[in-house]
Structure formats: structure tokens, C-alpha cells
Amino acid sequence: MGKKVNYPEEIKWEAVRMRQEGASHSQIQKKLGIKNKAQIQTWMRWLKNGETYRFSQPVGKQYSYGKGVAEELSEIEQLKLKNKQLSVEIEILKKYKEIERRWFQKQL
């Protein structure tokens, strides 16, 4: 069994952002030094499920009851996490609207 790697929260958010912009798993792995594409898929699943608090949890501390470490964060830290999540969601919506706009232009 391999050694578990703890990626910093910034790397996780950057990988998610790059993936949403259309970068391939291999491109993200090379640029950010991520060992396995399954890790990127896990982070994307967390984002999709609204579990962004998990980005800040260390390896082995993925609590299944409540929010684990997130419950211990100060209100300001919780708001910063929520702000990050909402910023990513806004970027996704912007990209969707752009794709939708292009699609409707092709239909005309």
C-alpha cells in the first residue's frame, strides 16, 4: 500500500478549477503534482455534493458525522469556506450560460 499524500487546500481548489475549465486529469496531475486521477475525481464529487468543508480536513479525518473539522472553525473561517464554494459555483454558472448562449446562436 502506498503512502497517503496530504495535498494543501489550495492545490485541491486549483485542481477543481482547472478541471472545470476543461483541463484533462493528466494535465492537472502534471502541473500540480497529483499522483492519481481518482483524487481529482474525489474532489470534484465533494464539490458537486456541497462537501467543500472536506477540502480543509487532513488525511484520515474525513468525518462521517456532522462536518468534523468544519464545526471547529471560527465563524470567519466558515464564511471564507462558504465564499470559496459560492465563487466556484458562480464560475460554473457563467460557463454554463456561455455554452447555452453559443448553443442558441447555432440554432438560429
C-alpha distances (whole Å) from 49 to each of 3, 23, 27, 45, 91 are 27, 21, 24, 6, 16
DSSP state of 64: S
Residue 3 lies in a domain: no
Residue 1 belongs to a domain? no
User: Does residue 15 fall inside a structural domain?
Assistant: yes
For residue 2, being part of any structural domain is answered with: no
Asked if residue 44 is part of any domain, the answer here is: yes
- Measuring CA to CA, which residue among 48, 57, 41 is closest to residue 85? 48
| Number of structural domains in the chain | 1
pLDDT in tens, 23-82: 999 999 999 999 888 999 999 998 888 888 888 877 765 555 455 554 566 788 888 888
34: in domain: yes
In a domain? residue 25? yes
Max distance between CA atoms of the chain, in angstroms, equals 56
Domain range enclosing 58: 9-107
Please state the pTM of the whole predicted model.
0.56
